[in-house]
Amino acid sequence: MITHLTSRVLRVAGALLFPFVLAAQGTTGFPHADHAPLFPSCTGCHAGVVAGDPATAFPGAAQCRACHDGKEHEVVAFAGRSTRSSGTLRFSHTVHIAKAAAGNDTVTCASCHARQAGAAWMDIARATPERCIGCHQHRATAHLADGNACATCHRPLTDVTGLTDADIARLPKPPSHARTDFLTAHAPGSDRASASCATCHARESCARCHANSARVPVISALKSDARVARLVAGKAPTYPTPADHERNGYAEAHGRAALENVARCANCHAQASCQTCHTGTGARKQIALLPSAREAAGRGVQLRRPVDQASPLSSVIPATRTPAATSWVPAPHAGDSARRTVRVHRDGFVRTHGEGAAADPTSCQGCHAQRFCADCHKGEKVTRRYHQANFVSRHSTAAYGRGTDCSTCHSTEVFCRSCHNSMGVGTGRGGIRGVGFHNAQPQWMFQHGRAARQDLGNCVSCHQQRDCQQCHSQLGWRINPHGPGFDAERLGGKNKAMCLRCHFKDPLLGR
């Protein structure tokens, strides 16, 4: 009985010794196969594996010299081998040996270390994860497979002090990490998953990108590691575009998403991201919930406010004809992963924003200071944002058709008239007796009344009040300009001076 047990323990221990044996080969490698005829068991050299004693897990130099004494066999240079780190592996030889010894397992040294099934005695190779899974298939279908509980076999990286920076950099990358949707859905959903992350990652791994790394419990739970910190230092963060961000109109809808779950935004965005556009007071409460610049420490998606050149065609064709919602442009800064230009407002917004601004002015002030509006609404175009090139030769149609309201930005009675006078179109001080402009309308004098009532604003861009008074006043030919519905009492009651510009005396007296 004792013999049987001893034999079994020896066989198991011998098999389990092989990792250490392989490691002991060092740079020269111990030629196990050459010694196969000499050694009947593994424990002859690796007794410490069975006992759990690292000091005797490998043979010493003296054991080699027993044969390699220079007489019977040549002397070999072997000074003994210190115990090799088992890496992140949580594996215990003694536990397996004990289970086997108790009859609860059939594992032997060869189960893990034989080069292949049916290999000759001492034809060995390093144990691989696949060998583990060969027996423990109920725990993982494959090494690095989705859903594996890494912590079953591995210790957290931060607890493994024996690995160098280079060792950590060489850790294998699970296939799941290469999936296109991995970055947008990699948050661990359970403690088990978190422990799996910790096998290869430290807090610095997450903090490289996460602006809110200090606020996320699963990140805070990770330990810090100087080796990982060195590896990620200077490495640009990666920010994928979530699927919902790809949708048209997301720029308009993102406010609601931020209200519903600002913590999600905070994964990638610090306050600075929002403040790129939200330069006003709007949304400041929600923005304040995001990590500050100090907390984010420079991380977070970095945006640039789009200017003319980032929006295709916007300078050549007015913004109303710049329908591209999004466009791909080169990364604004080296290392940035954000490469998208987003148009916030719908097509044609530049011509229709007045109503929105009137109904809900705070929305505008969320992003725009008043000086932004002044760029367009102050009379002259400093930057070409509204009118297309050569607009001067097209503007008459736009003015007559009222496709836009010129007076929104221009004083038609000053801006338009002064230019028209300068260019010889207006009447200047010459009154209506100048000739030329309406020369294609031989009956113009009989038609101008209708034209004037239909679009007096255009008349005013050339004619001054005196021009009309030459006929339409008591100073002139006393032709009544008032229409059938003219409410003299009402207007006269509001401004009598207006009446007296054409009437010698108050026309309402006696009424």
CA distances from 203 to 164, 196, 266, 290, 292 (A): 17, 13, 17, 20, 19
Alpha helices, H only, 347-500: 349-359, 361-365, 370-377, 395-401, 417-422, 444-454, 456-460, 465-469, 488-494, 496-499
504 near another protein, rule: CB under 8 A: no
The region of 25-33, 89-97, 196-204, 490-498 touching another protein under the rule CB under 8 A is: 490-498
CA distances from 442 to 5, 288, 430, 447, 461 (A): 126, 68, 20, 9, 22
- Output the smallest distance, CB 115 to another protein, in A: 52
Nearer to another protein, 294 or 505 (CB): 294
325 near another protein, rule: CB under 8 A: yes
The region of 30-38, 149-157, 170-178, 321-329 touching another protein under the rule CB under 8 A is: 321-329
Tell me the site size for another protein, rule CB under 8 A.
152
Which of positions 383-412 make contact with another protein (CB under 8 A)? Answer: 383-384, 388-390, 393-394, 396-403, 407-411
Which position among 146, 261, 374, 474 is part of the footprint of another protein (CB under 8 A)?
Answer: 374
CA angle 286, 288, 289 (to 5 degrees): 70
Which position among 40, 243, 317, 474 is part of the footprint of another protein (CB under 8 A)?
Answer: 317
The region of 69-77, 92-100, 141-149, 492-500 touching another protein under the rule CB under 8 A is: 492-500
- For the CA atoms of 63, 64, 68, 70, the dihedral, rounded to the nearest 10 degrees, stands at -80
424 near another protein, rule: CB under 8 A: yes
Which position among 75, 263, 288, 331 is part of the footprint of another protein (CB under 8 A)?
Answer: 331
The C-alpha atoms of residue 20 and residue 46 are separated, in whole angstroms, by: 8
Which position among 86, 94, 184, 276 is part of the footprint of another protein (CB under 8 A)?
Answer: 276
Which of positions 427-446 make contact with another protein (CB under 8 A)? Answer: 433-444, 446
- Output the smallest distance, CB 414 to another protein, in A: 5
β 326-328/340-342 pair status? antiparallel
478 near another protein, rule: CB under 8 A: no
Which of 65, 66, 29, 58 lies closest to 42, judged by CA?
58
The C-alpha atoms of residue 60 and residue 78 are separated, in whole angstroms, by: 8
Which position among 87, 464, 470, 471 is part of the footprint of another protein (CB under 8 A)?
Answer: 464
Burial code (b: 16+ CB inside 10 Å, e: under 16) for 186-197 equals: eeeeeeebbbbb
Which of positions 336-365 make contact with another protein (CB under 8 A)? Answer: 346-348, 352, 354-362
285 near another protein, rule: CB under 8 A: no
